Amino acid sequence: MTSAHQEDPHLWLEDIDGEAALDWARQQNARTVHTYAQSSDFQAIEQGILEVLDSDARIPMVSKIGPLYYNFWRDKAHPKGLWRRTTLAQYRTPEPEWETVLDLDALAAADGENWVWHGADCLEPANERCLISLSRGGADADVVREFDLVSMTFVEGGFELPEAKNHVTWKDIDHLYVGTDFGPGSMTSSSYPRLVKQWRRGTPLAEAVTVYEGAHEDMSVSAWSDHTPGFERDFVSRQIDFYDSETWLRAPDGTLAKLDVPDDANTGVTREWLLIEPREDWSVAGRTYIAGSLLAARFDDYMAGARELTLLFEPDDTTALDDYSWTRHHLILNVMHDVVNRLEVLTPPEGGTGGTGEWARESLGGAPALSCVAAGGIDETENDDYFLTVSGFLQPTTLYIGTLGQGEPQALKHSPGFFDASRFRVSQHFATSADGTRVPYFEIAAKDLVADGTNPTLQYAYGGFEISLEPSYSGGIGRAWLERGGVYVVANIRGGGEYGPRWHQAALQENRLRTCEDFAAVSQDLIARGITSPAHLGAMGGSNGGLLMGNMLTLYPQLYGAIVSEVALLDMKRYTQLSAGASWIAEYGDPEQPDEWEFIQTFSPYENARAGATYPPALFTTSTRDDRVGPVHARKMHAKLLAQGHDSSFYENMEGGHSAAADNKASAFMDALGYAYLWHHIGRPT
């Protein structure tokens, strides 16, 4: 037996598709299903969620390709989905007439594959050919096939790529930029393409010409073309790690000119404009711009050496830029203040040439109290039309359509209410973390809630990768949790992006435990306010949030009655060697470096699980086809806890990818399993 096996007796479970490991997973699944997924309560929860997911009354969100509006739709009759299209005039009607472009269920049956839709990239401006990406069972890896949007058929003898973590885009009708698995040494340590090549139609992939070659330790490389008429440009990008990158403008002769911006800055080029979002304070041309700002420059002037920057947005202690979107003549900013949105419309100076000038600014409106509003341009090359959505925890989504400068937007589609929201209220609270930081959280509860400490409460968070959790409507949560007598809480802990880069960076690497301290502070506040008590408080999170749950289990077990950890990282000693783990070193640190392992081990649940400790019951869910985080973490954590005598449960979906589900039916089952598990342990439905 090797020393690795002596150190880790569960290492054999890392053989993802090995029969022994899969047999073990099936045995654990059977135990979990027997205990938690065979009751009438479970079936009612599952059915309620599935009705929401399959509802024909949902809003069919669309994207514009050429003159038509496309939607990918799953329902009971089409579990794998339809890619379909309609006109804007039809889309405005209550029941649009759709034309099916591709029936994924029929294609899967014909191919004998469990295809999962990964999207289509269509060549502008003609939009007659597309590259369609299809995943087997929901993995990140996919196959790519060329599709004719006119005849609605796959192109015989057209571009086609085998299964890999592909990055492929159109250069022109006869050339692609391709990042794929070209053979040994062509992928990074993060399992993404290390090479990007230009591939000519009708030639073998092996003859594709290398455009750029990254390092093995990089995260990935890619190339793409901007086909905006009058502003056609090609770009190459080297993603050094999750947050640092380099971008070059690629000339027709293949030479590269670097965009001289900080490696950690996010950049976007649209028509004549370059937008820059520095993630650290940035001093340039005698001025310092704080992290999280949005800056504008004329692209050609900037590439020529000019450094005339216009400050479009500057954050403060409670405000951050959430997103931005272009229309033909305007820029829409989505700004968050204490995790509630407002929209602003910026108009660049006229003329398109010369100095930066002044950008006009006006409000597009804010969200109703404690809800979320978002807007985005429909076709930035043609007009100033935009879609706007408004939703909240108790407010089903409404979709509006408008044209900037032409009055108020018009309501276009309304999502139905899937539960009686009139019984509940939303409130925002602030807890104080261990270091004194003010941490916001949302609470959704019955209007007649009695603060006697007995309310079954589900606390959810993510806390990583600068991702924000904003108010959103969920018919599934409404049915499975709120209507059955529960309180639902969303904690906006550090590590997320609710207050911009600073909120995220406060919990990176050696400061990772702040996510746990923040989450615990919210839990303690809920208990102090009498909303719940440890026996009735459950915690849930997925992916990075699943890591958080593993740490709440091992570090704060006294606060919870049960924990659900979904598609999680848990073994932080080996995470860089598992699936795409190496791509997250910038977030967590490198366990191969002794000084970094010293702090990483403090938030490695697998390392810190102890026999003899008192832990609440925990459920770990995962997917065999998850090639991003992988099933290994959950398998090993569950096995270790069982060996130590703890109350642990496990379920591994044999398909589904990082979402742990390949279709609505599987999604409903996985969601219902988590809710049923919590109801079993922290409170029965009323």
Q: Which residues are catalytic?
A: 543, 658
Cα–Cα dist 403/387, whole Å: 9
Which residue type is seen at 68? L
The residues pairing with 64 across neighbouring beta strands, listed in sequence order, are 69
Distances (CA, A) of 421 to 44, 64, 366, 675: 19, 33, 22, 19
Which residues 6+ apart lie within 8 Å of 6 measured at CB? none
Cα–Cα dist 408/444, whole Å: 31
Cα–Cα dist 386/670, whole Å: 35
Alpha helices in 424-556 (DSSP H): 475-477, 501-505, 513-528, 544-555
Residue 348 preceded by cis peptide, ω within 30: no
Q: Is the dihedral of CA 299, 303, 309, 312 positive or negative?
A: positive
CB distance 501 to 264 below 8 Å: no
Give the pairing of strands 457-460 and 537-542.
Answer: parallel
Which residues 6+ apart lie within 8 Å of 1 measured at CB? none
Q: Report the candidate in 318, 309, 359 with the shortest Cα–Cα distance to residue 342.
A: 318
Q: In the Cβ-directed half-sphere of 294, how many Cα atoms lie within 13 Å?
A: 22
Tokens of 366: 């804010």
User: What is the three-class DSSP state of 20?
Assistant: helix
Q: In what order do the strands lie in the sheet with 457-460?
A: 424-432, 438-446, 487-491, 457-460, 537-542, 562-566, 618-623, 648-653
Tokens of 78: 């089409």
- The angle that helices 544-555 and 513-528 make with each other, rounded to 10 degrees, is 70
Tokens of 277: 């979002």
